[in-house]
């Protein structure tokens, strides 16, 4: 099974993380980069300001985090501490400012500390409602406006509605393309593995979006001809805390699993849906972000579990692997609810507690392999 | 004028005797059950070594982990202040003190007058203290000294990330299966690096400001010192007898109290 | 048709050879970081009692912690499945298996074919594992075998405030200083291991019959405590440490029979 | 998966707690306010237990304005305190935490909410006619709310709270409270008595003024109020919000403290250390607060978790908006969801106004609000030169850090304070 040329290109981008080649080229043109921390920061606003939105994450190895552990308490998850460690080591110096949201305690504390110790300037913390509906949307719209104003004041620039509309179309393009990529994985022989898909997702938020869209279009053409047999493999869904670690998925797929869909916030939850045009741009953004595949912190929780069940049917998933970064409360509390729903629908689920950046260690391989053997037995018994 | 300091901790008890501002003698014993007997035993043995009796001692201060009341001690002072006093006496430019014992690790920031500005203690997990080295050494059926010597032979070290000592054992075993193969020396250096990483992680919760004094039982381990110096990229000042710094501090505080006593009785 | 199963655990490596449904030979050897060669060492040891050599073995399945580094393995299967398959061969009515090994403990449900239907691992803390027994045994100066006997001489009930092995060590040292009897300490230790095991079993379904595998199953004290807490009789195989290797060998045999057809 | 309810444990715990309050109220005590506290506490159960038998509402968490429920003739049952009272009377901490784990809830989250989840999974809370829960709080709070709403087959209303105290945020919360009243009127047989609500707002205003007076009185040297009294303020402020009894209690306490200040009478035999409290102390170890007060002369003079951020005037003509303002500016708001910057500013202001020697941060297991504790410690040391003790503990589970270990951490801290006093 030969490597995909476009995935190779994106792997190069990821290899030079955090100061990737595209970001270097962007900075050399004297342009600005704005970091963002959570799915509910509307990237279009940053893009419309003529700046490069880059998602603050760490990457595929478990970092030694002396600074992370010293400035952030161990009860802040290792995701936030890894980001702090990289920022403290100066690996995010190319970032001119960042936007956070009040989505979870961990990201709030990270924003507090990065700003207080003058490591990365915090532009604004977006207050995101936890319910759906018009009133929540109106409040969230106000917050997006505040965020826009804060970015304008911070960089002393103007962001016009036309620029936002333009950015919306660029980002909608990505959503279309990623939807087509995911649709291909519904087939009984998906042409792209879970590890390769994550390579694409990781790169999407580490380079300028127009260039990424072009690469994604070429990749979709490549995938037309690519034949990959998934005979004897078990179709899996990965859900849980944010996952950037390619090694983790590779470890699962080497054991005979095939990751066909996910429910993580940098995966299906990131590109789901489209921003409707023909509306005032800020309201359109508020409506889109509040109603896409939701994060577990939203009420009622049933909205999210139904979406997960739909995905399981659409992608003929045989088993769900739910990975939780230790102290990640959002997903620690989502798991018992999702588990009870999946039990009722007879879908096996495996819970893995791990640290962010963990590869497929011995402990994880044992569990995943046993889980796959269990699913194999379930299939044979049918 | 003779003053004495006694530091009682869970595994060992240390006694130091000062005579007119110089260190006359010290003694380290394995702590028996009761704190009172531990302190008395240590001081008695020290006095016998220099042919003196209890009557010759004018002021005794005790310190150590836990609030142990000692009948014959005039005063009890916190271990942290005694550590600061002792380190300052040995190295007047000391501003950071790292005390790595068997189960407890303290990192203290002190000012030019040996006053404690900030201090931090290790939390309950043992992977950050001396017992981490001991338990891995007896898993590998090798003495602490040999483990250190073998570790020093390695150029690069294996990365051991488990925070729990028992899982570090499991990680050792998985390293031995690693592809490409890893030498035993690199694994041993990895163990000392892991402990140094955890101690530095603790120290970063306060300030790492030169001059840095390293004391406590583990300070005698050359491989650990090398790993720690690599991480701080600063030379560490290590007293010849790193275990007695707290007891020494207590003795110095006792002699200062004596001088203050004497001064006031003269006026 | 000759098949072999090798279980490379964290403390010991085990091998079993099966020829036409009969266990022909088995071997166990302690392995401290001999790493890669351990598989061939234990295999040779097993071959010695037979007239066979490595090339006569048609199919080799490996399992256990070091299962991925055996050069001559045909297939790799997780130790969860192998323990279930192995114990099912001894007791076909078993539906729940408790395995307490060197570094972790496992609770497994299996179906009538010995294949796993649910499982739960406790490897976050070494509290409920064989290593815990070993370390405390060293302090008490008592071998693992003697611990079982000592258990039944206990009089007072001692409970450990922590299941962290390192802190339990200093707790045991204090208990010795306070003159608490070794048998009471050992009984307290067995109780804490049984508590961890029971809470693990509760996270899967506790269906009759219950069997126990892994080295700790040789300790009658722990077995008694688990029987007391679960209220179920425990089926004990003659050689609980070999079950993983046996399961692997049986899986290898299944593959051969499948190929044969 | 809906649970079947079994309330035997709940009624047993409430009965025993009711008797404990009566016993404490009957005990001779030097402080009349202390006696009144337990009398009112017992009276709350006299109304709560029959109300629950009749079918009542459950509310989670404390900070939801209770004036609304009382004005509708409802007696709200609070999830957190019921959980604490059930676990404390049954003394089965490990069993309860084990139940949460059996349902797949990882241990790395706050023990209060793991226990709430365990009771939710087992159905040990009474089945309410309606369940009201607010989601303005830390992740664990919202988690246990989600689990309760999912596993309890009962109509539930979720109050969403804004992150910022802005006009839009207040308007958003006001409308949420109005919707809540409509929801309660649908699901309980009670109607909102708007006149009674207006009257209770007047009393609430009075209560807040007395509450602030008490905080001013505690600035005196020596400070007049006992360490464990802070939690009583918070509790009374909740179960007797906007009531004559509430005003009566705060008046009596204010008078007692005033008298003590006039006679320069502190609580510690000899006030050696004046301390700030930056996080909630372990509910099972209040003896520690007594120990440090009696034996070490350490008196906690201000708690950041019971502060009113803003002086709110309750306007009876706009009851819902006033209650929204009171909630967003009131106690536990910053503690549960505020930014560390605000918690740090609070500590610096209090340190100056209350002339403190040090501050205690109860480092509760897996409390993610403590994530940036270092920032507070460094700023407080730099700006007002006082050290902050980080006391490792668990707010509801005695098995994580023992009483002696917490005491040891405090001992080391008091040693440090003593050395600093020596100079």
Positions in chain B whose pLDDT score sits under 50: 267
Q: How far apart are CA D101 and CA D103, in angstroms?
A: 5
Find residues 185-204 of chain B whose CB sits inside 8 Å of chain A.
Answer: 197, 200-201, 204
DSSP string, B104-150: -EEEEEE-TTS-EEEEEE--S-GGGSHHHHHHHHHHTT--HHHHHHH
Partner chains of A (3+ C-beta pairs under 8 Å): B, C, D
In tens, the pLDDT along D357-412 reads 999 999 998 888 888 888 999 999 999 999 999 898 999 998 888 888 898 889 88
C237, C211 contact by CB (below 8 A): yes
Q: Do the Cβ atoms of C203 and D399 come within 8 Å?
A: no
Average pLDDT score over residue span D243-269: 92
Q: Do the Cβ atoms of C199 and D402 come within 8 Å?
A: no
In tens, the pLDDT along D53-69 reads 887 777 887 778 889 99
Cβ–Cβ contact A67 with D under 8 A: no
- Could you say which DSSP state residue C260 is in? H
For residue B132, what are the contacts with CB-CB under 8 A and spacing of at least 6? B126, B165, B168, B191, B194, B195, B198
- Token readout for A126 is 């977006």
Q: Please tell me which residue of chain C has the smallest CA distance to B127.
A: C166
Q: Please tell me which residue of chain C has the smallest CA distance to D103.
A: C203
CA-derived radius of gyration, chain B: 20
Q: How far apart are CA D12 and CA D213, in angstroms?
A: 38
Nearest to B78 among D392, D401, D416 (CB): D416
Find residues 330-349 of chain A whose CB sits inside 8 Å of chain D.
Answer: 330, 332-337, 339-341, 343-344
A337, D146 contact by CB (below 8 A): yes
Cβ–Cβ contact B176 with A under 8 A: no
| Residue ranges of chain C that CATH labels 3.30.420.40 | 1-91+239-261, 93-236
Q: How far apart are CA A213 and CA A178, in angstroms?
A: 9
Find residues 86-125 of chain C whose CB sits inside 8 Å of chain D.
Answer: none
Give the per-residue pLDDT at C83. 93
Sort out which chain D residues have CB atoms less than 8 A from B61's CB and list them.
none
Give the per-residue pLDDT at B258. 86
- Token readout for A135 is 């009133």
User: For residue C153, which phi and psi values (nearest 5 degrees)?
Assistant: -95, 0
Average pLDDT in chain A? 93
Q: Do the Cβ atoms of D98 and C199 come within 8 Å?
A: yes
Cβ–Cβ contact A133 with D under 8 A: no
A220, A177 contact by CB (below 8 A): yes
Average pLDDT score over residue span D205-215: 92
The residue ranges of every structural domain in chain D are: 8-192, 195-307+339-422
In tens, the pLDDT along A216-243 reads 999 999 999 998 888 889 999 999 999 9
> How far is the alpha carbon of D52 from chain B, nearest alpha carbon, in Å?
43
Sort out which chain C residues have CB atoms less than 8 A from B125's CB and list them.
164
* CATH entry 3.40.50.800 includes domain C1-91+239-261: no
Mutate: best of D60, D132, D151, D368, partner A, most A CBs <10 A: D368
A338, A239 contact by CB (below 8 A): yes
Q: How far apart are CA D419 and CA C65, in angstroms?
A: 53
Give the per-residue pLDDT at B267. 46
Q: Do the Cβ atoms of C80 and A366 come within 8 Å?
A: yes
Q: How far apart are CA A294 and CA A306, in angstroms?
A: 11
- Helix and strand counts by DSSP (H, E) for chain C: 8, 10
Q: Do the Cβ atoms of A373 and C78 come within 8 Å?
A: yes
Pairs of CB atoms within 8 A across A/B: 21
Q: How far apart are CA C139 and CA D210, in angstroms?
A: 61
Give the per-residue pLDDT at B127. 64
Q: Please tell me which residue of chain A has the smallest CA distance to B167.
A: A363
List the single range of A35-44, B237-246, C41-50, D303-312 with lowest mean pLDDT: D303-312
Q: How far apart are CA B233 and CA D107, in angstroms?
A: 38
Strands D388-393 and D358-364: parallel
Give the per-residue pLDDT at D209. 92
C84, C110 contact by CB (below 8 A): yes
Q: Please tell me which residue of chain B has the smallest CA distance to C130.
A: B166
- Could you say which DSSP state residue D282 is in? P
Q: How far apart are CA D170 and CA D165, in angstroms?
A: 7
For residue B146, what are the contacts with CB-CB under 8 A and spacing of at least 6? none
A319, A343 contact by CB (below 8 A): no
For residue D146, what are the contacts with CB-CB under 8 A and spacing of at least 6? A296, A299, A301, A333, A334, A337
Q: Which residue has the tokens 């552990």?
A: A69
Q: How confident is the model at residue D307 (pLDDT cuts 50, 70, 90)?
A: confident
Nearest to A66 among B159, B170, B197 (CB): B197
Mutate: best of C8, C35, C104, partner B, most B CBs <10 A: C35
> How far is the alpha carbon of B19 from chain C, nearest alpha carbon, in Å?
36
Average pLDDT in chain D? 89
CA-derived radius of gyration, chain A: 20
Instruction: State the burial class of residue A192 (Cβ atoms within 10 Å of its Cβ: 0-12, 13-18, 19+).
Output: buried
Dmax (CA) for chain B in angstroms is 77
The superfamily CATH assigns to domain C93-236 is ATPase, nucleotide binding domain (3.30.420.40)
A295, A265 contact by CB (below 8 A): yes
Q: Which residue has the tokens 């080229």?
A: A25
Give the per-residue pLDDT at A350. 95
**Cβ neighbour number for residue D27 with a 10 Å cutoff:** 10
> How far is the alpha carbon of C10 from chain B, nearest alpha carbon, in Å?
7
For residue D55, what are the contacts with CB-CB under 8 A and spacing of at least 6? D128, D129, D188
Give the per-residue pLDDT at C168. 77
CATH code given to domain A228-381: 3.40.50.11900
User: For residue A298, which phi and psi values (nearest 5 degrees)?
Assistant: -85, 160
Q: Beta strands of D3-81 (E only): which ranges?
A: 57-60, 77-78
Q: Which residue has the tokens 């009890």?
A: B76
Q: Residue C119: in which H helix or E strand, if any?
A: strand C116-122
Sort out which chain B residues have CB atoms less than 8 A from D380's CB and list them.
none
> What pTM, to 2 d.p., does this model score?
0.90
A106, A77 contact by CB (below 8 A): yes
C31: helix, coil or strand? coil
b/e per residue, A332-357, with b = 16+ CB within 10 A?
bbbbbbbbbbbeeeebbbbbbbbbbb
Sort out which chain A residues have CB atoms less than 8 A from C121's CB and list them.
363, 366-367
Q: Helical H runs in D167-243?
A: 167-187, 194-217, 229-239
Q: Do the Cβ atoms of D402 and C203 come within 8 Å?
A: no
D255, D32 contact by CB (below 8 A): no
User: For residue B182, which phi and psi values (nearest 5 degrees)?
Assistant: -120, 140
Q: Residue D139: in which H helix or E strand, if any?
A: helix D139-151
Q: Residue D44: in which H helix or E strand, if any?
A: helix D32-54
A158: helix, coil or strand? coil
Sort out which chain D residues have CB atoms less than 8 A from C161's CB and list them.
399, 402
Q: Do the Cβ atoms of D412 and B121 come within 8 Å?
A: yes
Average pLDDT score over residue span A61-69: 81
Q: Do the Cβ atoms of B167 and C126 come within 8 Å?
A: yes
> How far is the alpha carbon of A263 from chain D, nearest alpha carbon, in Å?
18
Task: Give me the residues paired with residue D58 across strands.
Answer: D77, D131
Q: How far apart are CA B133 and CA C75, in angstroms?
A: 37
**Cβ neighbour number for residue C123 with a 10 Å cutoff:** 19
Cβ–Cβ contact C203 with A under 8 A: no
Nearest to A373 among C65, C68, C77 (CB): C77
User: Could you tell me the fold of the domain covering A9-159?
Assistant: Rossmann fold (3.40.50)
In tens, the pLDDT along A247-303 reads 999 999 999 999 999 999 999 999 999 999 889 999 999 999 999 999 999 988 899
Q: Residue A321: in which H helix or E strand, if any?
A: strand A319-325
| Separation of CA C147 from chain center | 17
Strands C59-64 and C75-76: parallel
Give the per-residue pLDDT at C20. 87
D298, D414 contact by CB (below 8 A): yes
Tell whether the model's pLDDT for residue A73 goes beyond 90: no
Q: Please tell me which residue of chain A has the smallest CA distance to B205.
A: A70
The residue ranges of every structural domain in chain A are: 9-159, 228-381
Sort out which chain D residues have CB atoms less than 8 A from B104's CB and list them.
none
For residue A247, what are the contacts with CB-CB under 8 A and spacing of at least 6? A60, A61, A359, A360
Give the per-residue pLDDT at D270. 86
Q: Do the Cβ atoms of A366 and C77 come within 8 Å?
A: no
Find residues 303-362 of chain A whose CB sits inside 8 Å of chain C.
Answer: 353, 362
Closest CA to B147 of B171, B164, B181, B172: B172
**Listed ranges A71-80, A190-199, D78-87, D413-422; the one with the highest mean pLDDT:** A190-199
- Token readout for D411 is 């001992």
From residue A309, how far is each of A80, A314, A364 by CA, in Å? 29, 9, 25
- Token readout for C61 is 């399945």
Nearest to B10 among C36, C165, C170 (CB): C170
Pairs of CB atoms within 8 A across A/D: 159
The CA dihedral of A292, A294, A300, A301, to the nearest 10 degrees, is 140
Instruction: Show pLDDT as tens, one digit a residue, over chain C (261 residues).
Output: 899 999 988 778 999 999 988 999 999 988 665 666 888 889 999 999 888 888 889 999 999 888 888 888 999 999 999 999 999 999 999 999 999 887 788 999 999 999 999 999 886 666 778 888 888 888 888 888 888 888 888 888 887 766 667 677 777 887 887 788 888 989 988 988 898 898 889 889 899 899 999 888 889 999 999 999 999 999 999 988 899 999 999 999 999 988 876
D117, D144 contact by CB (below 8 A): yes
Task: Give me the residues paired with residue B63 across strands.
Answer: B7
Give the per-residue pLDDT at B252. 93
- Token readout for C65 is 């912690």
Q: How far apart are CA A240 and CA A139, in angstroms?
A: 28
Q: How far apart are CA C90 and CA D239, in angstroms?
A: 63
Chain B interface with C: residues with Cβ < 8 Å: 10, 33, 103, 124-126, 131, 135, 138-141, 164-167, 169-170, 172-174, 176-177, 179, 181, 184
Q: Which residue has the tokens 């239907």?
A: C117
Ordered structural domains, chain B, with CATH: 2-79+244-266 (3.30.420.40), 92-238 (3.30.420.40)
CATH code given to domain D8-192: 3.40.50.11890
**Cβ neighbour number for residue A273 with a 10 Å cutoff:** 14
Q: What percent of chain A has pLDDT over 70?
A: 100
Complex confidence, ipTM: 0.87
From residue A74, how far is each of B168, B218, D272 by CA, in Å? 19, 25, 33
Q: How far apart are CA A267 and CA A181, in angstroms?
A: 12
Nearest to B66 among D408, D420, D423 (CB): D408
Q: How far apart are CA B4 and CA D47, in angstroms?
A: 65
> How far is the alpha carbon of A329 from chain D, nearest alpha carbon, in Å?
6
């Amino acid at each position: 099974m030969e490597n995909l040329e476009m995935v190779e290109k994106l792997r190069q981008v990821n290899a030079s993380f955090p100061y990737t080649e595209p970001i270097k080229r962007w900075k050399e043109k004297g342009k600005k980069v704005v970091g963002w921390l959570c799915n509910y920061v509307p990237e279009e606003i940053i893009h419309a300001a003529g700046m490069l939105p880059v998602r603050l994450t760490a990457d595929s190895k478990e970092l030694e985090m002396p600074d992370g552990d010293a400035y952030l308490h161990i009860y802040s998850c290792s995701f936030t501490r890894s980001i702090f460690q990289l920022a403290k080591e100066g690996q995010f110096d190319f970032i001119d400012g960042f936007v956070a949201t009040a989505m979870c305690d961990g990201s709030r504390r990270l924003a507090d500390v990065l700003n207080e110790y003058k490591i990365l300037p915090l532009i604004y913390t977006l207050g995101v409602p936890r319910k759906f509906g018009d009133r929540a949307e109106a409040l969230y719209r106000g917050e997006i406006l505040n965020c826009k104003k804060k970015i304008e004041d911070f960089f002393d620039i103007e962001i016009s509605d036309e620029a936002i509309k333009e950015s919306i179309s660029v980002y909608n393009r990505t959503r279309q393309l990623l939807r087509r990529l995911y649709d291909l994985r519904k087939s009984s022989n998906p042409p792209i593995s879970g590890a390769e898909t994550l390579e694409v997702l990781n790169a999407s938020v580490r380079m300028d979006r127009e260039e990424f869209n072009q690469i994604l279009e070429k990749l979709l053409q490549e995938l037309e001809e690519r034949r990959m047999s998934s005979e004897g493999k078990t179709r899996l869904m990965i859900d849980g805390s944010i996952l950037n670690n390619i090694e983790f998925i590779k470890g699962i797929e080497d054991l005979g699993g095939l990751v066909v869909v996910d429910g993580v916030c940098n995966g299906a939850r990131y590109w789901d849906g489209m921003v409707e045009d023909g509306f005032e741009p800020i309201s359109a953004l508020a409506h889109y972000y509040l109603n896409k595949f939701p994060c577990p912190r939203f009420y009622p929780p049933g909205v999210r579990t139904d979406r997960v069940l739909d995905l399981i049917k659409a992608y003929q998933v045989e088993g769900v692997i739910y990975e939780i970064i230790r102290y990640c409360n959002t997903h620690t509390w989502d798991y018992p609810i999702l588990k009870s729903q999946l039990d009722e629908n007879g879908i096996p689920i495996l819970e893995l507690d791990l640290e962010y950046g963990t590869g497929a260690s011995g402990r994880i391989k044992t569990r995943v392999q046993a889980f796959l053997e269990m699913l194999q037995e379930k299939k044979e018994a049918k | 004028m003779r003053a004495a300091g006694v530091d009682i901790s869970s595994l060992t008890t240390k006694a130091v005797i000062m005579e007119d501002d110089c260190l006359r003698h010290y003694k380290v014993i394995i702590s028996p059950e009761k704190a009172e007997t531990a302190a008395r035993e240590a001081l008695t043995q020290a006095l016998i070594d220099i042919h003196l009796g209890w009557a010759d001692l004018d002021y005794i201060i005790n310190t150590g982990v836990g609030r142990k009341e000692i009948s014959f001690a005039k005063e009890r002072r916190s271990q942290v202040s005694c550590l600061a006093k002792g380190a300052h006496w040995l190295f007047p430019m000391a501003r950071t003190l790292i005390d790595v014992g068997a189960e407890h690790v303290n990192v203290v920031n002190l000012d030019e007058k040996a006053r404690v500005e900030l201090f931090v203690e290790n939390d309950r997990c043992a992977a950050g203290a001396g017992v981490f080295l001991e338990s891995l050494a007896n898993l590998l059926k090798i003495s602490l000294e040999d483990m250190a010597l073998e570790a020093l032979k390695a150029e690069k070290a294996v990365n051991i990330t488990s925070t729990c000592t028992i899982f570090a054992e499991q990680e050792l075993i998985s390293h031995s299966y690693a592809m490409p193969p890893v030498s035993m020396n690199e694994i041993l250096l990895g163990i000392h690096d892991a402990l140094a990483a955890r101690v530095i992680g603790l120290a970063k919760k306060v300030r790492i400001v030169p001059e840095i004094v390293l004391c406590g039982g583990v300070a005698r381990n050359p491989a650990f010192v090398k790993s720690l110096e690599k991480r701080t990229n600063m030379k560490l000042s290590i007293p010849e007898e790193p275990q007695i710094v707290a007891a020494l501090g207590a003795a110095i505080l006792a002699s200062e109290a004596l001088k203050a006593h004497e001064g006031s009785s003269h006026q | 048709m000759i098949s072999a199963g090798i279980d490379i655990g964290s403390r010991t490596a085990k091998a079993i050879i099966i020829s036409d449904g009969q266990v022909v030979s088995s071997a166990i050897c302690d392995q401290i970081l001999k790493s890669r060669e351990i598989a061939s060492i234990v295999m040779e040891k097993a071959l010695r009692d037979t007239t066979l050599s490595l090339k006569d073995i048609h199919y080799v399945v490996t399992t256990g912690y070091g299962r991925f580094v055996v050069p001559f393995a045909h297939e790799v299967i997780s130790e969860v499945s192998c323990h279930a398959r192995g114990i099912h061969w001894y007791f076909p009515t078993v539906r729940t298996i408790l395995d307490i090994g060197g570094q972790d403990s496992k609770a497994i449900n299996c179906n009538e074919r010995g294949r796993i239907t649910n499982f739960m691992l406790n490897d976050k803390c070494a509290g409920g594992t064989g290593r815990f027994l070993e370390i405390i045994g060293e302090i008490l100066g008592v071998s693992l075998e003697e611990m079982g006997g000592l258990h039944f001489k206990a009089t007072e009930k001692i409970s450990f405030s922590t299941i962290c092995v390192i802190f339990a060590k200093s707790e045991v040292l204090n208990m010795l200083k306070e003159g608490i009897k070794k048998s009471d300490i050992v009984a307290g230790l067995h109780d804490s291991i049984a508590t961890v095991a029971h809470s693990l079993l509760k996270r899967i379904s506790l269906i009759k019959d219950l069997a126990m595998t892994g080295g700790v199953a040789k300790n009658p004290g722990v077995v008694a405590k688990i029987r007391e807490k679960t209220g179920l009789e425990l089926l004990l195989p003659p050689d609980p440490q070999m079950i993983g290797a046996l399961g692997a060998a049986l899986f290898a045999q299944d593959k051969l029979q499948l190929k044969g057809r | 998966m809906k649970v079947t309810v079994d309330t035997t444990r709940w009624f047993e715990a409430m009965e025993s707690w009711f008797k404990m309050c009566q016993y404490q109220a009957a005990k001779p005590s030097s402080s009349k306010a202390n006696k009144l506290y337990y009398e009112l506490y017992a009276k709350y159960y006299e109304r709560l237990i029959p109300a629950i038998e009749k079918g009542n509402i459950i509310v989670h968490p404390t900070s939801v304005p209770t004036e609304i429920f009382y004005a509708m003739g409802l007696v709200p049952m609070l999830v957190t305190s019921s959980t604490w009272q059930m676990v404390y009377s049954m003394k089965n901490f490990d069993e309860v935490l084990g139940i949460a784990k059996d349902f797949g809830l990882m241990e790395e989250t706050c023990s209060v909410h793991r226990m709430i989840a365990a009771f939710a999974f087992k159905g040990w809370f009474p089945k309410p006619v309606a369940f009201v829960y607010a989601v303005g709080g830390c992740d664990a709070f919202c988690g246990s709310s989600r689990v309760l709403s999912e596993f309890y087959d009962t109509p539930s209303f979720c109050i969403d709270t804004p992150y910022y105290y802005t006009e839009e945020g207040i308007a958003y919360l006001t409308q949420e409270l109005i919707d809540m009243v409509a929801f309660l009127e649908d699901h309980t047989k009670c109607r909102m008595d708007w006149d009674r609500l207006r009257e209770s707002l007047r009393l609430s205003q009075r209560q807040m003024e007395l509450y602030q007076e008490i905080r001013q009185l505690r600035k005196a040297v020596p400070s007049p109020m006992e360490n464990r009294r802070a939690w009583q303020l918070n509790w009374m402020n909740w179960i007797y919000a906007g009531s004559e009894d509430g005003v009566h209690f705060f008046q009596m306490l204010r008078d007692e403290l005033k008298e003590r200040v006039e006679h320069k009478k502190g609580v510690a035999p000899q006030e050696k250390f004046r301390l700030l409290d930056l996080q909630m102390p372990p509910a099972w170890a209040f003896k520690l607060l007594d120990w440090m007060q009696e034996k070490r002369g350490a008196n906690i003079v201000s708690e950041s978790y019971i502060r009113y951020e803003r002086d709110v005037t309750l306007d009876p003509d706009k009851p819902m908006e006033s209650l929204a303002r009171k909630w967003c500016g009131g106690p536990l708001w910053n503690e549960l969801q505020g930014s560390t910057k605000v918690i740090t500013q609070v500590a610096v202001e209090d340190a100056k106004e209350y002339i403190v020697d040090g501050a205690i941060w109860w480092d509760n297991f897996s409390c993610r609000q403590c994530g940036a504790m270092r920032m507070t410690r460094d700023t407080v040391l730099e700006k007002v030169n006082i050290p902050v003790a980080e006391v490792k503990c668990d707010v509801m589970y005695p098995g994580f850090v023992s009483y002696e270990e917490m005491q040891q951490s405090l001992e080391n801290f008091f040693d440090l304070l003593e050395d600093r006093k020596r100079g």
